[in-house]
Structure 1
């Protein structure tokens, strides 16, 4: 009889060890699955923030590069607000148009007499909606959505209103 009790004790010990191992494996599996979901959420949030920040930084750097007296202004073209940055190269006047359309930020660099307009530019970045307003010498740029933000730029030139 002692042999049977001894075998039951061993069997119980082996089953307990196997069950404990299975619990450990399941905990590890759930930890990996939950960690993957957390990583996915963090990555999505970082991507949203990145797109909003890059759009603001891109526009701010372009404005800072092209900030000359009376050469930075907003206009409307086909129902789209366009930030225009004019510059003289030789005897010609060139314009950099920056605008938001169809979920993307666009840029068009062209001669002011070329006849090109909204829709002819190059895609810069896919992002949430970007809006721009100018009040005196201040340019307000705003991005919508989860990673949205806003930026106020004080134009050294004062913009077209200060000519």
Structure 2
């Protein structure tokens, strides 16, 4: 009688041990999957923000009737891309952690804080050389992406 009770306890202990090993393996797989998902989501968000910022600036350049009229001036926390439109200008620039856009009169006294926030960014700089527009975009983590636009012909822009 005692031998049979001992066998039942041993069978129950083995079943409980196997269940514990199964539960531990299941938790390990779940935590690994959740960590991988978190890393992939973060990376995709960073790439999305950089691509969106670059495409936003490229589309603004494409919308200009005379691409050769595009200027770069000091505005905000660095350079501003200036798109003339008659007596008005549109400025795309970086200010206070955001890519900003300001539509105003040419000689307006509005400062960079008056613009509309487009999206978060870490920095933005422009340079114009021989019909080529070089754009450097920095995200919040400090990673940079460079975009080069060729301004050629009237109203035509190639990426």
Aligned-residue CA RMSD in angstroms?
2.1
List, as ranges, runs of 4+ consecutive aligned residues in structure 1 with deviation greater than 6 Å: none
> Within 2, Cα distance between the matches of 1:40 and 1:62?
33
Unmatched 5+ stretches in structure 1: none
Distance 1:13 1:31, change over 3 A: same
Q: 1:63-98: per-residue Cα shift (whole Å, max 9, x none)?
A: 01115153211111365211001123xxxx221100
1:112 aligns with 2:106: yes
Deviations 1:98-156 (A, max 9, x none): 00122210000112243223221010000222221111200011123555321100112
The 2-side partners of 1:130 and 1:148 are apart by 9
Within the alignment, does 1:150 sit opposite 2:157 as a pair? no
Q: Give the structure 2 partner of residue 127 of structure 1.
A: 121
Larger Rg, first or second structure (1 or 2) = 1
Structure 2's unaligned 5+ residue stretches are none
Cα 1:65/1:5, change in 2 over 3 Å: same
Are the equivalent residues in 2 in contact too, given 1:137–1:158 (CA < 8 A)? Answer: no
Bigger relative contact order, structure 1 or 2 (CA pairs below 8 A, ≥6 apart):
1
Aligned length: 153
Q: From the superposition, tell whether residues 87 and 158 of structure 1 become closer, same or farther in structure 2 (CA, over 3 Å).
A: same
Q: Is the 8 A contact 2:98 2:119 kept in 1?
A: yes
Of 78, 81, 84 in structure 2, the residue corresponding to residue 83 of structure 1 is 81
> What is the TM-score when the length of structure 2 is the normalising length?
0.85
